[in-house]
Structure 1
């Protein structure tokens, strides 16, 4: 009955999308001691006779043309047709007599698990359900909350496993890897710009590029999945690359070509980097179109949401690099004077 209780709980949480139940109705003959004693039949004999006629009993093997065929003794289909036919099933009794099954046992339909698994010296019963119409995370959290309100017998405890638990572990690992990647991006920006102010400025603008990915994810199915998180990391890498290209080009114009800091420098640098930034976004977006058009089909559970997030993030990251970064550089980038070129003195004659 504990399994039925958990199954009912999962059904209420997942709605119409529940199937894959692990509890099935089973016809169960229960030996009646008083009536069995009058027929001199033991409970084991009643169970064996009923199991042989209903489920079958392998009594040997038949070899024919290098093939092995099992020889099974079984009752006819009529004996398993209904509960009434089972109750009228004739069983051999001592003395050559026959008794009906209902005369020596109570035959009724009871719920029974189809499989009890054992792991680490413990028995477990799986209650499984598939989710439809809701996201997996919200359903799993609701199941966990409702399980806390159920008082289980001693030495019994529930554990929520499956795809949800695996996804939680993957998201935790991805979080720490993303944190390490963000730290690495920060120091790469500093090594490229040589300025803590420009590094901080560029780093703080990176999350703004993710707005398009978030909007695209919620516009598609409203779920931030593991594939979506991978897409966010990809967008961060693209916008960091474009930002490095743009700001490094500003520094090149100011330090190598001697352009004075001002609107003309910012506008010229943006124009010269317009084509590389647009081509990066266009080629990446075109490569993702097949995944988006194919839809969320089996086998694309990771690629489809990832492609949607990357495409949405490419739009906002392109706008960020072409409009926001130049304006912020014009406002905060003046404190980096051009570095003087090292002078090379001519060698004296005859040296």
Structure 2
């Protein structure tokens, strides 16, 4: 017979003494499970769910996405970007600032000269939080510009998923811009009246002044001109026409035919532009067309074949799901013309879709796990015993999150899954050992069987918990430092869950097994037909 070390024998004696008294009062075990689950449920409302499951990674290289209103000139963007670059370099802790405006020839970025990027590198010895706050303070000091401070990973996520600072977005689809704008204003007014909505605004189409030439067909016909001829000639003189390229020193220069600058300074100058006629004469553009300045959208937003306009809502002081229900109710009271409709998008809609998908797969996994447990033990009761005690193993992880940052993130979820795996494995091994003692070693079912099996499984259970916990101690001691944004919350949850899962498997499962298996044995001994019906 294998001789256990003195420390293990001492632990087994003390453990057996405590477990024997718990087994005599089986209601204690059931009450412990109920109390643990109740504590976990009471702690859930105090936990915070972040806007994203991914944590904010504390990378030392930041990207400032910088965009002015459409139509902003290149010299103006260069002036503003140069100024903010100087301010950023003056911040203590900033090591370097690199910037660019527009896009390079052949670049894959679909941006114009009114957009740019600044790469800011933070010194490794600088205070990350203070330096980043100072960077965001400088960037926010330029009103009228869209700006976003991102990490490298955040920038990569932004490339595949458009940013959405607003949790709820109502997208209105239709054809006519004026109808879309009117309905968007109505929706914005309704959203602003909802409790919890701090700001509701219409993301309107940005318009810039543009010269419009409307050809007078009768006047053009008198001079033998077609409308297309007039428009092409006017566009060439006013906007220029690329007719070739010049290559010099590995640089490409466009060859453009264009009217002299002094000939296109005003509407009157454009009206005085001379258009060649088929007869060889010339005629003023103002004599055959009307020239005026009209507002023109810079970007036409559309989804598939429909144009759209967004109404965004920022939320504060109320749960997002409650606000979303009120938004749906308000949208139901808006009357839309034929072929116009609205849908709710944004961070909330994406989160709801992800939660539905996760819930579907989770339910399928739960059913599969339960069936596997039943196949392993050959009993629905024993499968239910392991299955129903697993949630109480997570209570320690929930309490650990509560006393740390109270935020559920990706690392926390990984930690909860790890605790479930450890608790389930220990419970399955414990019950399998009970069955082995009874079937293979002839141990009579009863308190003696439970006490012996629990003492023999004490060392593996404690070894699993202690080795896992010791491996996580360095992550806990280091804290939430750059590079540990996922590992730290995971370690917190696992360490807290190890406490409750170990107590569960050592003191609760043995007592409940004696109660559940005793009733199962009675049914099994009563006859094959009755046993088959019970199982």
The verdict on a shared fold, with TM-score over 0.5 as the criterion, is yes
Cα deviation 1:192-227 (Å, max 9, x = unaligned): 33333322222221232344455566764655x787
Q: 2: CA distance between counterparts of 1:79 and 1:57?
A: 16
Q: Which runs of 5+ in 1 are unaligned?
A: 340-351
Q: 2: CA distance between counterparts of 1:150 and 1:268?
A: 71
**2:293 counterpart residue number:** 107
Flag the 1:277–1:160 CA change in 2: closer, same or farther, 3 A: farther
Shift of 1:53: 7.7
Question: 2:310 aligned with 1:123, yes or no?
Answer: no
**2:378 counterpart residue number:** 194
1:328-347 to structure 2, matched below 5 A, reads: 328-335=512-519
Flag the 1:323–1:89 CA change in 2: closer, same or farther, 3 A: farther
**1:261 counterpart residue number:** 446
Shift of 1:244: 0.8
Flag the 1:3–1:200 CA change in 2: closer, same or farther, 3 A: same
Q: 1: CA distance between counterparts of 2:460 and 2:302?
A: 59
1:1-351 to structure 2, matched below 5 A, reads: 1=177, 2=180, 6=184, 9=188, 23-29=205-211, 57-65=241-249, 68-72=252-256, 90-91=270-271, 92=273, 105-107=291-293, 109=295, 112=297, 114-117=299-302, 119=304, 122-125=305-308, 127=310, 138=321, 144=328, 146-160=330-344, 167-214=351-398, 220=405, 222=407, 232-254=416-438, 256=441, 258=443, 261-262=446-447, 266-281=450-465, 284=468, 286=471, 289=475, 293=480, 312-335=496-519
Flag the 1:320–1:296 CA change in 2: closer, same or farther, 3 A: farther
Q: 2: CA distance between counterparts of 1:98 and 1:28?
A: 17
Paired residues of 1:29 and 1:105 also in contact (CA < 8 A): yes
Q: How many residues align?
A: 321
Q: 2: CA distance between counterparts of 1:3 and 1:308?
A: 50
Normalised by the length of structure 1, the TM-score is 0.61
Q: 2: CA distance between counterparts of 1:282 and 1:44?
A: 83
Paired residues of 1:18 and 1:131 also in contact (CA < 8 A): no
Q: Which runs of 5+ in 2 are unaligned?
A: 1-176, 276-281, 525-535
Flag the 1:191–1:16 CA change in 2: closer, same or farther, 3 A: same
Paired residues of 1:22 and 1:114 also in contact (CA < 8 A): no
Paired residues of 1:136 and 1:164 also in contact (CA < 8 A): no
Flag the 1:113–1:179 CA change in 2: closer, same or farther, 3 A: same
Q: Secondary structure at the match of 1:293?
A: coil
Flag the 1:269–1:169 CA change in 2: closer, same or farther, 3 A: same
**1:344 counterpart residue number:** none
User: How large is the RMSD of aligned CA atoms in angstroms?
Assistant: 5.6
**1:342 counterpart residue number:** none
Q: 1: CA distance between counterparts of 2:262 and 2:467?
A: 68
Flag the 1:17–1:73 CA change in 2: closer, same or farther, 3 A: farther
Q: 2: CA distance between counterparts of 1:323 and 1:229?
A: 26
Q: 2: CA distance between counterparts of 1:113 and 1:146?
A: 31
Normalised by the length of structure 2, the TM-score is 0.44
